[in-house]
Structure 1
Amino acid sequence: MSDGYIRLIPTDVNWQPTLDAAAAAVAYVARLFSGPDDDVEHVDHEFYDKVTLIDAGENTTRITCSSCLAEIDMEWFYDLIEESSESFDNLDTTVPCCGAVVSLVALRYDWPVGFARFEVCAMNPTRAKYELDARELADVATLLGHPVTQILAHY
């Protein structure tokens, strides 16, 4: 069985919160998943020096070009990620299908991925409603001081 993760990231790829705000968001998310069976294995935050891929793991199986709408081979994406060590100075890249320069953010992923310099990650959340709802996302955003989105991942 694969491990499940909820990865919460700012909507601005370069934005980072204060350490206190990050700690408050982690505590809040941990409370969302606390229960009699210790429903969450681990909640933490991570600051990255560069914009980093926040992937969906096994959930992402297809990418479509935002310029020509052709399907992009996943091997091309994996090679790009490996070459960059999952962090980027610039998110613009030349896609193999049509040669257009597009942002990695603009590519169409069958399962959402993100790019960020900060994340809150909850490992193995198992409550009845796996993902955070709109109110919970808004609460995390308030604690951090910036809007967030969630990436649901399995590895």
Structure 2
Amino acid sequence: MSDSYLRLIPTDNRWQPDPGAAAAAASYVTRLFSGPQDDVEEVETEFYDVVTLVDAGENTTRISCPDCDGDIEIDWFLDLVEETGETFGTLDVEVPCCGSVVALDSLRYDWPVGFARFEICVMNPVRAEYELDSAELAEVARLLGHPVAQILAHY
């Protein structure tokens, strides 16, 4: 059986909230999945020491280059992630398609991925609308004190 995740990250990949704000935002997200037909297995906050990949798991099947529009093999990306242990001192890499040096967060992924030092991770969320809507994202951002993006992952 596979797991689904809703992952919320700051739009600035180096930014982290204070622990109280993180707890308040996680509590709010938990309440979003606590209705009669809703459920969530777990809601966690993660603070990372360095910028860390927040991927979309099996959802990502295509990556392309922002410089040449060429396709980048998923295996190249997976090898890079394995090499770095999902953490990055810099997001700049030389891409195999054209040899340009580009930031990993500028690559075009068919499912959004992100890079962050903080995330709220929601495991196996169930409700009518799986994704958070713009008002819910705005409330998470208000509680954290910083805008957020959501990553939908499946493993």
TM-score normalised by length of structure 2: 0.98
Match runs of 1:25-104 below 5 Å: 25-36=25-36, 39-104=39-104
Moved over 6 A (4+): none
Alignment of 1:6-17 (within 5 A): 6-17=6-17
Cα deviation, residue 36, structure 1: 3.4
Query: Residue by residue, what CA displacement relative to the aligned partner does 1:52-108 show, whole Å, maximum 9, x if unpaired?
Result: 000000100000011100000111000000000000000000000100000000000
In structure 2, stretches of 5+ residues that fail to align are: none
| Residue 2 of structure 1: how far off its partner (Å) | 1.7
**Residues matched between the structures, number:** 155
Name the amino acid aligned to 2:101: V
User: 1:134-149, aligned counterparts within 5 Å?
Assistant: 134-149=134-149
- Report SS of the residue matched to 1:105: helix
Post-superposition Cα deviations, 1:37-59, rounded to whole Å, max 9, x if no partner, equal 66000001000000000000010
Q: Distance in 2 between matches of 1:141 and 1:96?
A: 36
Whole-angstrom distance in 2 between the partners of 1:27 and 1:74:
35
Task: Verify the 8 A CA contact 2:13 2:115 in the aligned structure 1.
Answer: yes
Alignment partners' CA distance in 2, 1:37 and 1:105: 36
Distance in 2 (alpha carbons) for counterparts of 1:118 and 1:96: 29
Identity of aligned residues (%): 70
